Amino acid sequence: MLIVTGYIHVAPSDAAAFLSEMAAFAEAARARDGCLFFAVAPEDIGEGRMLVAERWRDQAALTAHLGAEETAAFVARWQARMRDDIAKFDAANARTLMAS
């Protein structure tokens, strides 16, 4: 399993439009084969900082998502107006929160 997490930064004046477009994009991402979780939420709307949290079954699923037409279109619309600080992590030992 892969975990993708970090921040996307947009101008505060673009935050509402970004979140509106992200809602539709997230719905499409969640429907993709191998998407276990996908969420982008405002962490500090006044600063335009959005928290990203994703889980993917494997690299093939994430690669398919990143290469999808909807992903390319979303990035093309926002690339010049956003920056990110997002990392990908391998998670080989998933368990419930309270398990030791």
Task: Provide the pLDDT for residue 94.
Answer: 87
**Mind listing the domains of the chain with CATH numbers?**
2-90 (3.30.70.100)
10-34 pLDDT, tens per residue?
999 999 999 999 999 999 999 999 9
Where in the chain does DSSP place strands (E)?
2-10, 35-44, 49-56, 82-90
Q: Is 32 exposed, middle or buried (0-12, 13-18, 19+ CB in 10 A)?
A: middle
**Residue ranges, the chain, pLDDT below 50:** none
Helices 69-78, 15-30: inter-axial angle, 10-degree rounding: 170
